[in-house]
Amino acid sequence: MKRPHHRLLALACGALAAVVAVPGAAYAEPDPMKRIQSIHEELEKVSEQINGLKVKLKQAERAAKVASDNASRQKKALDVVAREVSGLAATSYMLGGTDQALILATTDQPQHFLDRTSTLSFFASQNGTKVSELLAAMQSAQRAEKAADDRAGQVRRLNTQLTERQDKLKKDYTQIRDKIVRKSPKSIVDIPPVPGAGKAAEALRLALTQLGKPYVWGADGPDSYDCSGLTMWAYAKVGIHLPHYTGSQWNAGAHVGLAELQPGDLVFFYSDLHHVGLYIGDGQMVHAPQTGDVVKIAPIGGRPFAGGVRVA
């Protein structure tokens, strides 16, 4: 007959064996679809942040050039006045070494002499003030140039950090992509008719001609696109320039609500506006969705709608 503690030990071992025998009972395998969606969401955010930094870098570089040009102009102006002051000082020194009364008594042009000495005194005083002003202006311009250069450097460093993060996310994405990504160019539907003759309608028609082309981060056509690259390309074709950044495109026109949307309006999603498409009508849009997918028509209800923008 087994002792009580032996019976308890046997029951515990049996329970442990049952747990071990059921795969996944204790530790659930991570859902690859949820993981890939999470990676894509972060990738799209990072990619649009990088697009935004490219815009800001151009602005910072332009500001640095303007500041540098201004500093150069102030320096040249200061050099001119400095030479004038040096010449006046030399002339004043030479005149000061001669008896002024003797010169006045012997000169055959006394008024010219008086005018000259008076002018020297006046310009010496005026140029002294001018030198101080120009020196202050040049120093201010140099400070502005340094501030603009520093800003451009900060943007470059942040861009490097985000690019490194983007590369890491791409690597993670690639490792599980084949498990869940469906190649779906055959999912393209017939191009729907687009009413209207305005630029927005024409931009929409052009975007629809790109159905089936692959999504690629940072791409703006004509072979591949990311979300803001597609909208930028379509509107550029009708003569309207949009920055390659959802944050800037959000401010490119008048904001409209869901019920006011018209064909060709830009439609934005998520609180940080990191995804954009072109509204078709009947709750549908054309957009470049994500890596492994293609430019396609999709319902706007599949993502949290942030608002619309009427560009033209």
* Catalytic (active-site) positions: 227, 275, 287
Task: Please tell me the distance from the alpha carbon of residue 62 to that of residue 149, in angstroms, as a whole number.
Answer: 10
Q: Which residues pair with 309 in a beta bridge?
A: 255, 266
Task: Please tell me the distance from the alpha carbon of residue 124 to that of residue 87, in angstroms, as a whole number.
Answer: 10
Whether cis (ω within 30° of 0) applies to the bond prior to 222 is yes
Taking alpha carbons only, the member of 226, 222, 270, 233 closest to residue 250 is 270
Helices (H) then strands (E): counts for the chain: 7, 6
The answer to whether residues 144 and 67 touch, using CB atoms and an 8 Å cutoff, is: yes
- Decide the pairing of beta strands 296-299 and 266-269: unpaired
* Burial (CB count <10 Å: 0-12, 13-18, 19+), residue 146: middle
Task: Please tell me the distance from the alpha carbon of residue 275 to that of residue 103, in angstroms, as a whole number.
Answer: 85
